[in-house]
């Protein structure tokens, strides 16, 4: 005879489950805004020590304004270094690519399909200009997001103490010190990650610059800057940088492009297996396997942005798990 099992679920329990599901769904809908906010918080944590140091000499508000001006100026300089040569190289590639391949009559005689493939490549490169309108619309929304990020960045840095006080005020007095300790550890992890990312960008940029100069690739400095900037995008960033360098090298000769591809593949292997694990493991205290899994999950959920913020999020989560007993005591005491 089967025993009868009574399952009693209170109305309040059902209500809490429904509210939790609705909250998760709402957070999913605004995930892009949350990602932007998290990126701003990363920058705030990274630049907070600089503001604290400069504020002794010029005041906090003036320090924040100086940092915003310098940061925006460097960004504008980077765009100036990258965009004009890139447009010029696309035009050069469209003009010279057919003539480069026309030198190889023997290959063309044995591979008749090469010309049709070349036509597809040339047309694809030429169509880049036609995509400018679409890109412009995306840039418009990007500019709005950038302005909002700069405003939030400046406001949070100026009123950093007030922001910390507001967060801690959400907790009872007897738990604020413990929660403040958790927040400090999270801030340190995120700050270390950002500084590690800057170090990675510098290392890869210098290596690429030296290699491209040795290979005699035009616009080596611009391509090295692109590599450094794209280093913040795990996996996909170095691939894009390598393709850009190969396309530029193709305007010189196909052999040069092949050498550039080989160079970037070798650098990518060294970076993935030695440089990134060592730098990031030291910066955030996570194993390379966890870092890779975090990046894959982030990329799956939110694309490139998710891949970028995956490591600092994983580092923050590691702090929460390490301090779980403190957080659990707070939750239990408030049930």
- Give tens-digit pLDDT for 199-221: 888 899 999 999 999 999 888 88
Most confident of 49-63, 92-106, 118-132, 174-188: 49-63
Q: To the nearest whole number, what is the mean pLDDT of the chain?
A: 76
The region of weakest confidence among 30-34, 226-230, 274-278, 316-320 is 274-278
Nearest-angstrom CA–CA distance, 315 and 52: 24
Task: Summarize pLDDT for 111-153 with one digit per residue, the tens.
Answer: 455 455 545 545 554 554 454 445 455 566 777 777 888 888 8
pLDDT band at 77 (very low <50, low <70, confident <90, very high): confident
For 147, other C-beta atoms within 10 Å of its C-beta total 10
130 secondary structure, DSSP code: G
pLDDT at position 43 over 90: no
Most confident of 28-42, 73-87, 200-214: 200-214
pLDDT at position 273 over 50: yes
For residue 243, the surrounding DSSP H or E stretch is helix 236-250
SS3 content of the chain, % helix, strand, coil (to 5): 90, 0, 10
Give the distance between the most distant pair of CA atoms in the chain: 88
pLDDT at position 10 over 90: no
Nearest-angstrom CA–CA distance, 269 and 267: 5
φ and ψ at 125, to 5 degrees?
-65, -40
- Could you tell me if 220 and 209 are in contact, meaning their C-beta atoms sit under 8 angstroms apart? yes
* pLDDT for 121: 47
Nearest-angstrom CA–CA distance, 315 and 186: 7
pLDDT at position 33 over 50: yes
Please indicate, yes or no, whether the overall pTM of this predicted structure exceeds 0.85. no
Structural domain boundaries in the chain: 35-159
């Amino acid at each position: 005879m089967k025993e009868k099992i009574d399952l009693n679920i209170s109305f309040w329990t059902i209500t809490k489950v429904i509210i939790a599901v609705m909250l998760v769904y709402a957070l999913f809908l605004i995930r892009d805004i949350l990602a932007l906010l998290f990126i701003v918080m990363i920058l705030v944590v990274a630049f907070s020590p600089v503001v604290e140091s400069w504020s002794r000499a010029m005041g906090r508000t003036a320090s924040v304004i100086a940092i915003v001006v310098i940061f925006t100026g460097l960004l504008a300089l980077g765009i100036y270094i990258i965009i004009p040569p890139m447009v010029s190289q696309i035009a050069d590639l469209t003009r010279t690519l057919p003539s480069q391949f026309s030198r190889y009559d023997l290959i063309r005689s044995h591979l008749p399909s090469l010309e049709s493939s070349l036509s597809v490549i040339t047309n694809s490169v030429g169509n880049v200009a036609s995509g400018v309108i679409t890109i412009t619309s995306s840039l418009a929304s990007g500019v709005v997001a950038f302005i909002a990020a700069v405003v939030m960045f400046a406001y949070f840095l100026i009123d950093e103490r007030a922001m910390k006080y507001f967060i801690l005020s959400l907790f009872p007095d007897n738990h604020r010190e413990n929660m403040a300790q958790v927040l400090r550890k999270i801030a340190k992890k995120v700050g270390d990650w950002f500084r590690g990312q800057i170090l990675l960008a510098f290392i890869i940029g210098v290596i690429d610059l030296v290699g491209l100069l040795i290979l005699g690739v035009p616009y080596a400095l611009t391509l090295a800057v692109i590599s450094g900037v794209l280093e913040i995008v795990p996996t996909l960033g170095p691939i894009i940088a390598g393709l850009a360098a190969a396309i530029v090298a193709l305007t010189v000769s196909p052999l040069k492009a092949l050498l550039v591809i080989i160079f970037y593949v070798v650098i990518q292997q060294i970076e993935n297996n030695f440089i990134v694990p060592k730098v990031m493991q030291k910066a955030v205290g996570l194993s390379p396997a966890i870092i890779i899994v975090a990046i894959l999950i982030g990329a799956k959920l939110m694309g490139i942005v998710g891949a970028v913020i995956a490591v600092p999020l994983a580092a923050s989560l590691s702090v929460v798990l390490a301090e779980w007993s403190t957080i659990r005591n707070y939750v239990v005491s408030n049930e």
